[in-house]
Amino acid sequence: MFLDDQLTDDKFLCGKLRLFQPATGYRAATDAVLLAAACPAVSGQSVLDLGCGAGAATLCLAARVPALHHAGLELQPAYAELARRNAARNGVAVEVVEGDLTEMPKALRRDFDHVIANPPWYPPGGTRSPQPDRATALQVSLPLSTWVEAAARRLAPGGCLTLIAGADSLPDLLSALAPKMGTAAVLPLAAREGRAPLRVILRARKGGRGAFRLLAPFVIHQGPAHSGDRESYTPQANAVLRDGGDILPLFA
């Protein structure tokens, strides 16, 4: 368990959410918000967050869509406890279960309408965290196909997987979809206009037979570079990252 002096108190969605996160090791940021913004869940449906960490993606989704049935799978007990603490703090009921997605705990062996996931990822040329006890330490060696397969097993027929990952992993993600997942759409995430996307959001439906779609990039920052100490989000990104909006129309 993390001690209080090992945690930071972070604002998400312009303060709509307050999350405790470890000062060192794995920390959620914009990826969790964008993942939640791309999930097409509606009130009354169930959502499973694979590798939920401290609960950022689940709680961002809960802030946008009320009355969802939330569950999270987390490998590391300290992060699982932190996710429970953050959920209670923000008044959201989340069933957080400790376990490995390669051996799904019995408590989560049921159908969900949606599965969301933010698997461990390092940019090309990047380095892994020096923290040996980070939340995803033991999952880092798992191929993305394992994440997709675990999601497919937990999805109800017609259920939707929403996953954020490195753009360089796209070939592996797409090859992992068959035979259970289809109707795939990929949204590239570009830091700035004209920059090559480093991240993508994949959406796919269990049993879907629609054509694959590669969507126009979602651009996060304005201008060619940072000008001063400010975020410089595009209006579209600002509506998501600060105001808690969704990016569902981009997948329509």
User: ∠ CA(82), CA(83), CA(86), 5° rounding?
Assistant: 85
For residue 210, tell me if it sits in a domain. yes
For residue 56, tell me if it sits in a domain. yes
Q: How far apart, in whole angstroms, are the C-alpha atoms of residue 250 and residue 217?
A: 9
Q: What's the domain range around 139?
A: 28-124+131-215
Which tens digits make up the pLDDT trace of 93-109? 999 999 999 999 999 99
User: What pLDDT is attached to residue 129?
Assistant: 43
Query: What is the phi/psi pair of residue 79, to 5°?
Result: -75, -35
For residue 246, tell me if it sits in a domain. no
3-class DSSP state for residue 143?
A: coil
Which tens digits make up the pLDDT trace of 25-52? 889 999 999 999 999 999 999 999 999 9
* Paired tokens of 173: 């993600």
For residue 201, tell me if it sits in a domain. yes
Q: How far apart, in whole angstroms, are the C-alpha atoms of residue 92 and residue 57?
A: 12
For residue 235, tell me if it sits in a domain. no
- Domains contained in the chain, number: 1
For residue 226, tell me if it sits in a domain. no
Question: How much of the chain, in percent, has pLDDT values that exceed 70?
Answer: 90
Domain CATH code at residue 83: 3.40.50.150
Q: What is the pTM of this model?
A: 0.91
For residue 140, tell me if it sits in a domain. yes
124: DSSP letter: T
For residue 7, tell me if it sits in a domain. no
**Each residue's pLDDT expressed in tens, for the chain with a length of 252 residues:** 899 999 999 999 999 999 999 999 889 999 999 999 999 999 999 999 999 999 999 999 999 999 999 999 999 999 999 999 999 999 999 999 999 999 999 999 999 999 999 998 665 554 444 444 443 333 456 899 999 999 999 999 999 999 999 999 999 999 999 999 999 999 999 999 999 999 999 999 999 999 999 999 999 999 877 666 567 899 999 999 999 999 999 998
